[in-house]
């Protein structure tokens, strides 16, 4: 029997339903869709290499800035910009109420990091197996579709951090490392992993196996600690799948451009093709204020070489909690990266929109040109800001302010085409195979 979720994904992606079912069965594709969220308005989305690369937007409060309204504004900005999923990383205020409010208004897959609430409620040293399971179950009952679970960072991995520049930059990874050192015990999430699987399977919550040792500086990329944790994630990936759970695996981080291909390939090998969910990756460390750009550069390569899911990075990364404008900019940058990667790998239909926009541009069809852009709001604003006066004179459809009328190559090209009796650009789009 084919589930409604599979049918929805196949319809949205315009692919054969049997392909979706086969990729799900092979654990190369996931559809994060909690049973509770499905009943309250979730539109299922698929994450896997046979589909378009997806983009996630992180939002959430902190102990310094805490406003549910602000998080709703961020989520709305993310959705309007085209985010395919949203994660609530809140650590301040009433976490249950914030999550409930966001979930009720979120039509896309929704993720959390349950250990944040455990630590916020109990403190690092006082967490135990019971409170972890209670928190995971509570969030599953609320309808969360995927959980980041930092079960791969082990006590024996901590000695591998000695030569790192940035140490542990993952919040969950750092706090679990602190717990292990305090108690001189193994990571509790690793020890109770089978119990976590049981809860996840009950509610059909997807694992997002967290990379607690992801590199936070390009100097730390692809080091012994990162790879050691990845091998543990490969083990956990298999264990979770054997328990009937859907699994995707999280990856770096800060990675020089020349190491991205290797990072994608080694994850595929170790984790047997499970969807790869990467943060960026950021290809340089020197661009605070512009890290959505460094992330988009790395994200394009990651999408080309093997990632299925990109976690956005905002311009305010490393500088402070993002606002709604930052969220919007981060989503757009990652959507560009995801799309560019899909076009480069020849995903069927990926370049259709590019050709449609190019045909409109060649025909000086401004309405279609702007409407087909990834961010029509910004494109139209920029055009109108400098062409508004021309538009009032009825000339803006013939040229723009970049070159003016006499120097407009697009306008001149139309004259050449008419004089040579060449056909107009074909509106029919040749699909990639």
Do 222 and 255 contact (CB within 8 A), yes or no? yes
Distance, CA of 231 to chain centre: 22
Task: Give the Å distances, CA to CA, from 401 to 48, 218, 357, 397.
Answer: 42, 41, 19, 11
Last residue of a domain, one of 291, 319, 344: 344
Q: How far apart are CA 110 and CA 42, in angstroms?
A: 9
pLDDT at 428: 54
Q: How far apart are CA 168 and CA 223, in angstroms?
A: 12
Do 29 and 48 contact (CB within 8 A), yes or no? yes
Tell me: pLDDT of 395 over 60. no
Tens-place pLDDT, residues 213-229: 999 999 999 999 999 99
Tell me: pLDDT of 390 over 80. no
Is the Cα torsion angle 35, 37, 40, 44 positive or negative in sign? negative
Question: 210: domain range?
Answer: 4-344
Residues 162-195, buried b or exposed e (16+ Cβ, 10 A)? eebebebbbbbbbbbbebbeeeeeebbbbebbee
3-state secondary structure of 250: strand
Distance, CA of 235 to chain centre: 23
- Please state the domain count of the chain: 2
Q: Is residue 430 part of a domain?
A: no
Do 108 and 76 contact (CB within 8 A), yes or no? no
217 and 311 assigned to the same domain:
yes
Query: Mean per-residue pLDDT for 29-49?
Result: 97
319 and 378 assigned to the same domain:
no
- 148: β partners: 208
155 and 293 assigned to the same domain:
yes
Tell me: pLDDT of 432 over 50. no
Q: How far apart are CA 177 and CA 206, in angstroms?
A: 24
Last residue of a domain, one of 317, 344, 371: 344
- Please give the torsion angle defined by the CA atoms of residues 291, 297, 302 and 305, in that order, rounded to the nearest 10 degrees: -170
Tens-place pLDDT, residues 235-292: 999 999 999 999 999 999 999 999 999 999 999 999 999 999 999 999 999 999 999 9
pLDDT at 206: 98
Alpha-helix residue ranges (DSSP H) falling in 184-323? 188-191, 193-203, 224-242, 260-270, 291-305
Question: What DSSP line would sit under 92-103, residue for residue?
Answer: SS-HHHHHHHHH
Task: Return all residues near 83 (Cβ < 8 A) that are at least 6 apart.
Answer: 55, 56, 57, 108, 312, 331
What's the mean per-residue pLDDT of the chain? 94
Tell me: pLDDT of 382 over 80. yes
113 and 240 assigned to the same domain:
yes
299 and 392 assigned to the same domain:
no
| Helix then strand then coil, % of the chain, to nearest 5 | 50, 10, 40
Tell me: pLDDT of 389 over 80. no
pLDDT at 391: 60
335 and 380 assigned to the same domain:
no
Q: Is residue 429 part of a domain?
A: no
- Please compute, for residue 218, the number of CA atoms within 13 A of its CA located in the half-sphere on the CB side: 17
Residue for token pair 């630590």: 119
Q: Is residue 426 part of a domain?
A: no
Tens-place pLDDT, residues 102-118: 999 999 999 999 999 99
Angle at 243 between CA 237 and CA 247, to 5 degrees: 35
Structure tokens at 362: 């060649």
- In degrees and rounded to multiples of 5, residue 192 shows phi and psi of -105, 20
Question: What DSSP line would sit under 358-375, residue for residue?
Answer: HHHHHTT-HHHHHHTSS-
Question: What DSSP line would sit under 138-166, residue for residue?
Answer: HHHHHT--EEEE--S--GGGGGGGTT-SS
- List the end-to-end C-alpha distance of the chain, in Å, as a whole number: 29
Angle at 152 between CA 151 and CA 154, to 5 degrees: 100
374 and 357 assigned to the same domain:
yes
* Share above pLDDT 90 across residues of the chain, in percent, rounded to a whole number: 85
Domain containing residue 239: CATH number: 3.20.20.540
Q: How far apart are CA 428 and CA 254, in angstroms?
A: 41
pLDDT at 224: 98
329 and 364 assigned to the same domain:
no
Strand 206-209 to strand 54-59: parallel, antiparallel, or no bridges (unpaired)? Answer: unpaired
pLDDT at 431: 44
Q: Which helix (H) or strand (E) holds 251?
A: strand 247-251
97 and 209 assigned to the same domain:
yes
Distance, CA of 144 to chain centre: 16
């Amino acid at each position: 029997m084919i589930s409604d979720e599979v049918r929805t994904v196949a319809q949205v992606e315009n692919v054969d339903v049997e392909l979706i079912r086969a990729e799900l069965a092979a654990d190369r594709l996931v559809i994060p869709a909690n049973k509770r969220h499905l009943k309250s308005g979730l539109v299922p989305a698929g994450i896997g290499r046979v589909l378009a690369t997806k983009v996630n937007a992180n939002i959430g409060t902190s102990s310094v800035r805490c406003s549910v309204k602000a998080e709703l504004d961020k989520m709305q900005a993310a959705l309007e910009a085209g985010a395919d999923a949203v994660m609530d990383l809140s650590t301040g205020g009433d976490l249950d109420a914030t999550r409930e409010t966001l979930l009720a208004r979120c039509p896309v897959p929704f993720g959390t990091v349950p250990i944040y609430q455990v630590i916020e409620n109990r403190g690092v040293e006082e967490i135990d197996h019971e409170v972890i399971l209670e928190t995971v179950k509570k969030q599953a009952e609320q309808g969360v579709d995927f959980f980041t679970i930092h079960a791969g960072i082990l006590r024996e991995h901590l000695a591998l951090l000695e030569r790192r520049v940035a140490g542990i930059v993952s919040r969950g990874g750092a706090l679990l490392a602190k717990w292990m050192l305090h108690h001189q015990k193994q990571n509790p999430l690793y020890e109770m992993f089978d119990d976590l699987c049981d809860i996840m399977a009950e509610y059909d919550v997807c694992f997002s196996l967290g990379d607690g040792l992801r590199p936070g500086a390009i100097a730390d990329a692809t080091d012994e600690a990162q790879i050691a944790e990845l091998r543990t994630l490969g083990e956990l990936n298999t264990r979770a799948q054997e328990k009937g759970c859907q699994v995707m695996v999280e990856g770096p981080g800060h990675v020089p451009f020349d190491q991205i291909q290797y990072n994608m390939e080694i994850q595929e090998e170790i984790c047997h093709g499970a969807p790869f969910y990467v943060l960026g990756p950021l290809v340089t460390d020197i661009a605070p204020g512009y890290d959505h750009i460094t992330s988009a550069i790395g994200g394009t390569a990651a999408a080309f070489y093997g990632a299925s899911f990109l976690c956005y990075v905002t311009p305010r990364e490393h500088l402070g909690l993002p606002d709604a404008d930052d969220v919007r900019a981060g989503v757009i940058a990652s959507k560009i990266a995801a799309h560019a990667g899909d076009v480069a790998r020849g995903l069927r239909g990926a370049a259709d929109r590019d050709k449609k926009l190019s045909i409109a541009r060649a025909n000086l069809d401004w309405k279609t040109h702007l409407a087909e852009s990834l961010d029509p709001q910004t494109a139209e604003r920029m055009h109108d800001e400098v062409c508004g006066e021309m538009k009032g004179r009825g000339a803006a459809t013939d040229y723009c302010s970049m070159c003016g009328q006499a120097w407009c190559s697009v306008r001149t090209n139309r004259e050449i085409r008419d004089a040579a009796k060449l056909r107009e650009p074909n509106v029919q789009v040749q699909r990639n195979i």
